[in-house]
Amino acid sequence: MTDLFNEKSKSWDSDATVKTLSSAIGSLILERVSLNTQMDVMDFGAGTGLISSHVAPRVKKIVAVDISEAMLNKLVSKPELDGKVEAVCQDILKMPLDEKFDLIMSAMAIHHVEDTGKLIQVFSEHLKAGAMVALADLDKEDGSFHPEGTEGIFHHGFERGEFKEILEQSGFEDIHFFTAYKVIKGDNKFPVFLVVAKKT
């Protein structure tokens, strides 16, 4: 399988929009999720570990899951994540992990997965009872967020009401949406939500 992020990984961490957005999402997760040093966390679509960097000091360990080896190679090279974050390069929809988590977090990765319902169900199966998700992605947009022809984009954001229904169908409750950030591109503003929910 082609690593669609092979080239992007080289300059990912120096991209001003990526840095600002990751910081906003990471800060909001710290604000809205009760973290503690006994927690096992999955960072889905972890990329270079920008969200993991925010959360790692507050939890026991993070398993950073991504299908881009190039992005994960960047992550494991960061000294501040050494010993705290384990990188796993695999598609958990096809090959689940043999582990349960207290929290699954994700930032801007869900629109890269075709079957959202299946993904949320897989998240549920990877969580302990009463565990949480903290998932950030684009609000529904007109398709202009990504440059035309960008590979691996299956959704132009999500309607919050529809996303809530998907979470409920997989046994999540206590579902709350927050606006983490608005990405400005030209004359357009693209709101990014963070949804926090609890597995029943």
Tens-digit pLDDT profile for residues 42-79: 999 999 999 999 999 999 999 999 999 999 999 999 99
State the pairing for strand pair 40-44/188-199: unpaired
Helix (H) or strand (E) holding 95: none
Using CB atoms within 10 A of its CB, is residue 177 exposed (0-12), middle (13-18) or buried (19+)? middle
C-beta separation of 200 from 173 below 8 A: yes
Q: How far apart are CA 43 and CA 52, in angstroms?
A: 7
Residue 149's pLDDT is: 82
Band of residue 5 on the pLDDT scale cut at 50, 70, 90: low
Domain-located, residue 1: no
Q: What is the pLDDT of residues 129-187, one digit of tens each?
A: 999 999 999 999 999 998 888 888 999 999 999 999 999 999 999 999 999 999 998 88
Residue 139's pLDDT is: 97
C-beta separation of 7 from 106 below 8 A: no
pTM of the model: 0.93
What is the domain range of residue 50? 8-199
Domain-located, residue 2: no
Residues 6+ apart with CB under 8 A from 95: none
The CATH code of the domain that includes 42 is 3.40.50.150
Neighbours of 3 (CB within 10 A): 15
HEC per residue, 159-185: CHHHHHHHHHHCCEEEEEEEEEEEEEE
Mean pLDDT of the chain: 93
Residue 65's pLDDT is: 98
Domain-located, residue 139: yes
Domain-located, residue 45: yes
Domain-located, residue 61: yes
